[in-house]
Amino acid sequence: MVFSEQQLMQSGQPLQVDRFVFSVMLWPGRSDPGVSRSRTGVNELGVLRCGGDDAAQDTRCRCRGACWERERGPDIPIPLLTLMARSTLAPTSGPNFHWTFTRKKWKRMRYSPHLFVVIVLAIGGWNPKPLKASQIVSNPFVGITLITRTETVPRNETMHIAEIDLTAPGLRFELTPPGGTLEDVRQTTAAFLNQEHAQLGINSHFFLPFPSSDPNAMIIGIGASNGNVYSAFEAPIQSYAIVTDAPGLNIDQSNHASIVHDDTTFADGKHVQENVTLWNTVAGSAQIITNGVSTIPTYIDAAHPDGLLTPGGPAAYSNSNSWYNLTNARTVIGLSQDNRTLFLFTVDNAGGSRGMTPGEIAALLIQDYGVYNALNLDGGGSTSMAMQNPSTGLGGLINVSSDSPPGRSVASNLLVFATAVPEPATIELVGLILIAIIALQRWRAALTSGSGATVEFRSLSCRRI
């Protein structure tokens, strides 16, 4: 839905806003600064969709001018430039003004730093991604894009999605190695991350015994750490939630990733059908996305003779009362169709977030992020995503654990090692200078035609209600 400024003023519709929106329109050959708002309103800027409430600040505003409507939608057509600067508080005011450049004024203004920035960004063709609901996107390390996303429908949700470019230089992975008297020694995700000096980590396998104070544990399903395959495909005790021989996700030594399946011609359960080397391999309860389609497992009954789950368990689970229909904290790992992007996903069931079902997660990851295959990993109080602070080098949870503030001690964690992001000045300064030179040349050519050019800055203007 698109609002004109006049419609917003008449309806006074309250909107939740957490970011400024600046729109810059350049018209070579126009010198009239008095363009009416009805002619230069939101519709001329294209379809603007908009943000939501910040997780920490629920600030409501009545908005004048262009604003993003709170809903997911298609990509945003932007004529030249829309600058979006995130703010934790909604703006309380914002000027609307026009600058007109004739040839005479251009001589006075051509070295203006403000104009320099406008021209560089406009001619450079910066094209920001549309935001989905309310989310913060950052690139803390080379090859890693971290998204913190909040939703209010169908319930309050806080999600963290890490998109990892498997072709990025300096990237490597590590799963918790075997140890202790069983298969693994339990450890929180953050503790393992700090111990190994990794940059990002999530919990992975389901494990037994649980609940237990014993730090020694067995992971459920195929597991490998740096080429050591120490856990096999299996028929789990919790067959009401975990399918027999649940597929795994393997990342080899060259960061080639793929879904792997049990090769039943080998009795040991440590071989796979695919022609790959098991290096760092995780397994979960089931594959919830298969070839771009949601594949939530069903229970064996008369209507589902091929069901992968066994009815029963602590809550008498069945197709009418499925374990997979429970909302809870969840951890999911997935891959893009070309297997070149790895996705790590968590959703909380604490701190105001109310959890999700695996089916809801599958639908979201397919629709919004293009995930093609994904596994549901251990969730609930085990759900943990930890990251190293790029500034301090110290790691900690970035989600809110429903077990304890530092997170649950789990049997296995998957770590990501990545290099620091270069300082922006070292990689962007030369490019900006070149773009500025091209921009100035184009503007001079436009201005020598004899008429002026109008640059309009339109910003969001809000008042608290």
Q: What pLDDT score was predicted for residue 438?
A: 79
pTM exceeds 0.75, yes or no: no
pLDDT at residue 255, as a whole number: 98
Q: Please name the residue that has the structure tokens 């104009």.
A: 115
CA torsion 422-342-220-277 (nearest 10°) is -90
**In which domain, by residue range, is 51 found?**
5-131+424-464
Does some domain include residue 161? yes
What is the token pair recorded at 169? 């230089």
DSSP secondary structure letter of residue 83: E
Residue 136 maps to a domain:
no
At position 55, the amino acid (one-letter code) is: A
Q: Is residue 12 part of a domain?
A: yes
Q: What is the pLDDT of residue 442?
A: 75
**pLDDT in the model for residue 225:** 98
pLDDT tens for each residue of 19-64 = 333 333 333 333 333 333 322 333 333 333 333 433 333 333 333 3
Q: What is the pLDDT of residue 427?
A: 52
Give yes or no: residues 403 and 455 share one domain.
no
Q: How far apart are CA 424 and CA 422, in angstroms?
A: 6
- Examine residue 147 and state whether it is found in any structural domain, yes or no: yes
Residue 377 lies in a domain: yes
Which pLDDT score, from 0 to 100, does residue 445 have?
72
Q: Report long-range pairs for 47-51 (Cβ below 8 Å, ≥24 apart).
A: 47/2, 47/73, 47/74, 47/76, 47/77, 48/2, 48/21, 48/76, 48/82, 49/73, 49/76, 49/130, 50/15, 50/17, 50/21, 51/16, 51/17, 51/18, 51/19, 51/131, 51/134
Q: Quick check: helix, strand or coil at residue 420?
A: strand
Q: Identify whether 239 is part of a domain.
A: yes
- Tell me, yes or no, whether 316 and 190 share the same domain: yes
300 residue type, one letter: I
Residue 238 within any structural domain of the chain = yes
d(Cα 272, Cα 263) in Å, to the nearest integer?
5
Which pair of tokens denotes residue 205?
């396998």
Could you give the CA distance from residue 159 to residue 147 in angstroms, rounded to a whole number? Answer: 8
106 and 236: one domain?
Answer: no
Question: Do 147 and 65 sit in the same domain of this protein?
Answer: no
Residues 412 and 430 in one domain: no
Residues 180 and 310 in one domain: yes
**Burial label, 441 (beta-carbon count in 10 A; 0-12, 13-18, 19+):** exposed
Which of 350, 182, 333 shows the shortest CA–CA distance to 258? 333
**At what angle are helices 424-447 and 113-124 packed, to 10 degrees?**
90
Cβ pair 64, 1 in contact under 8 A? no
Rounded distance, CA 270 to CA 268, Å?
A: 5
**CB 248, CB 281: distance < 8 Å:** yes
- The pLDDT, as a whole number, for residue 434 is 73
151 in the same domain as 102: no
Residues of the chain short of pLDDT 70, as ranges, are 1-133, 424-431, 446-465
Same domain, 122 and 167: no
d(CA 185, CA 411): 6
Please indicate, yes or no, if residue 138 is contained in any of the structural domains: no
Distances (CA, A) of 136 to 120, 293, 393, 398: 25, 27, 21, 13
**Whether the Cβ atoms of residue 374 and residue 360 lie closer than 8 Å to each other:** no
Instruction: Answer yes or no: do 92 and 74 share one domain.
Output: yes
Question: Are residues 89 and 192 both part of a single domain?
Answer: no
Same domain flag for 60 and 119: yes
Q: 154 and 118: one domain?
A: no
| Chain length of the chain | 465
Query: Domain tally for the chain?
Result: 2
